[in-house]
Amino acid sequence: MAETTDAVTTIPVTGTQPQENYDVLIGHGLLARLPEILGPRAQRVLVVHPRALRSTGELVMNDLRTAGYESFSAEIPDAEEGKHVQVAAFCWQVLGQNDFTRSDVVISVGGGAVSDVAGFVAATWLRGVRVVHIPTTLLGMVDAAVGGKTGINTAEGKNLVGSFHPPAAVLCDLGTLLTLPVNELLAGMAEVIKCGFIADPEILRIVEENPERVRDSQSAVVRELIERAVRVKAEIVSQDLKESGRREFLNYGHTLGHAIELAERYQWRHGAAVSVGMVFVAELAAAAGNLDEEVVHRTRRILESLGLPVSYRGDRWKQLSDAMHRDKKTRGNLLRFVVLDAVGSPRIMEVPDESILFATYQEIADEG
């Protein structure tokens, strides 16, 4: 259970090794917690941030210097453009030029793409240094920053190169969401809704009954949704760090979603692509006779109420199919999808016959 003290909610993530244990803090004014997290052994801290958050990165560095740490900046391209090996190499160069040791720390400030690449840099520098994530987007808070997955993209697909490297802490400062455009907030809600379908149906009820408050990043409703989504992920990750079991359920909607992102050259928001992916797997489960049609309709209703897409271009199937066959979840030639038997009851479905997938895709295809 999470403990709430002075309006800061602490959600623990545990693992099989001590270094896999950490806390996710949710609240306001969390930068003040950094010195106690970093501790006295660290001397140098690299703050990795996108160009769009230069002022926030400088604020974090100034706080660190005031606390007695040497702080350095690695400014990287925004969003998915930052998730390339050349960007990781730039960060390694900064670490090397400034004599970072195994007791020093990397901090990510930004969305999911930043925590992915900063985590990968930390995992690979000296075979592993500590990383602290300060997510500034809803997507980062409920998904990318929690769980220890790190990765970069290649021309062949998303996150095909990466490692598992749990952070030392995750600081979800709700105040950072104030500058987040509403469409970015709602795109991040796709990952929250995913958690509702696979594990916590109460999330779905809250979204359905509070359409306006879901659009206010500082509302109590949004905070509860963040906390519920983080609890879902923390509970699953604590049982399965390296995706050998239940953790695969967190990929609900992601197989097709990642393929759409690749087809769009990462110009689509991750949450928008996952939204379409969730409709696709709901249709797939219904077509197989395993899921009630009402769950499919509910999926569409909830996502459409947030302005999220529920269809994609009908002329892109071949490209999407090729991308899905390169997905990490594929086993041999068998495509694997997370599907539902009911809300809160996910399972893995292997699909040997691609004609079933093509027929299902027609249910979400538009004429674009």
- Residue 149 marked in a binding site: yes
Catalytic site residue from 223, 231, 247, 336: 247
Catalytic site residue from 44, 165, 248, 251: 251
- Residue 322 marked in a binding site: no
- Residue 327 marked in a binding site: no
- Residue 118 marked in a binding site: no
Catalytic site residue from 36, 127, 212, 265: 127
Catalytic site residue from 258, 269, 300, 336: 258
- Residue 254 marked in a binding site: yes
Annotation says 165 is catalytic: no
- Residue 83 marked in a binding site: yes
Using the structure block, give the residue that is written with the tokens 């539902």.
340
- Residue 158 marked in a binding site: yes
- Residue 136 marked in a binding site: yes
- Residue 133 marked in a binding site: no
Annotation says 65 is catalytic: no
Annotation says 202 is catalytic: no
- Which residues have CB under 8 Å from 260's CB, separation 6+? 268, 273, 276, 277, 312, 316, 320
- Residue 112 marked in a binding site: yes
Catalytic site residue from 133, 270, 300, 336: 270
- Residue 79 marked in a binding site: yes
- Residue 82 marked in a binding site: yes
Annotation says 270 is catalytic: yes
Annotation says 21 is catalytic: no
User: Are the C-beta atoms of 157 and 254 separated by less than 8 Å?
Assistant: no
Distance of CA 171 to the CA centre of its chain: 14
Bridge-based pairing of strands 335-342 and 70-76 is: unpaired
Bridge-based pairing of strands 8-13 and 3-5 is: antiparallel
Catalytic site residue from 243, 248, 261, 283: 243
- Residue 366 marked in a binding site: no
Catalytic site residue from 254, 269, 300, 336: 254
- Residue 10 marked in a binding site: no
Annotation says 127 is catalytic: yes
- Residue 81 marked in a binding site: yes
- Residue 16 marked in a binding site: no
Annotation says 294 is catalytic: no
Catalytic site residue from 130, 223, 233, 300: 233
Annotation says 20 is catalytic: no
- Residue 137 marked in a binding site: yes
Annotation says 242 is catalytic: no
User: Are the C-beta atoms of 339 and 291 separated by less than 8 Å?
Assistant: yes
Annotation says 251 is catalytic: yes
User: Per residue, what are the HEC states of the chain?
Assistant: CCEEECCEEEEEECCCCHHHCEEEEEECCHHHHHHHHHCCCCCEEEEEEEHHHHHHHHHHHHHHHHCCCEEEEEEECCHHHHCCHHHHHHHHHHHHHCCCCCCCEEEEEECHHHHHHHHHHHHHHHHCCEEEEEECCHHHHHHHCCCCEEEEEECCEEEEEEEECCCCEEEEEHHHHHHCCHHHHHHHHHHHHHHHHHCCHHHHHHHHHCCCHHHCCCCHHHHHHHHHHHHHHHHHHHHCCCCCCHHHHHHCCHHHHHHHHHHCCCCCCHHHHHHHHHHHHHHHHHHCCCCCHHHHHHHHHHHHHCCCCCCEEHHHHHHHHHHHHCCCCCECCEEEEEEEEECCEEEEEEECCHHHHHHHHCCCEECC
Catalytic site residue from 184, 191, 248, 283: 191
* Integer angstrom CA distances of residue 48 from 122, 213, 244: 11, 32, 30
Q: Which residues are annotated as a binding site for Zn(2+)?
A: 191, 254, 270
Q: Which residues are catalytic?
A: 127, 149, 191, 233, 243, 247, 251, 254, 258, 270
Q: Which residues are annotated as a binding site?
A: 78-83, 112-116, 136-137, 149, 158, 176-179, 191, 254, 270
Q: Which residues are annotated as a binding site for NAD(+)?
A: 78-83, 112-116, 136-137, 149, 158, 176-179
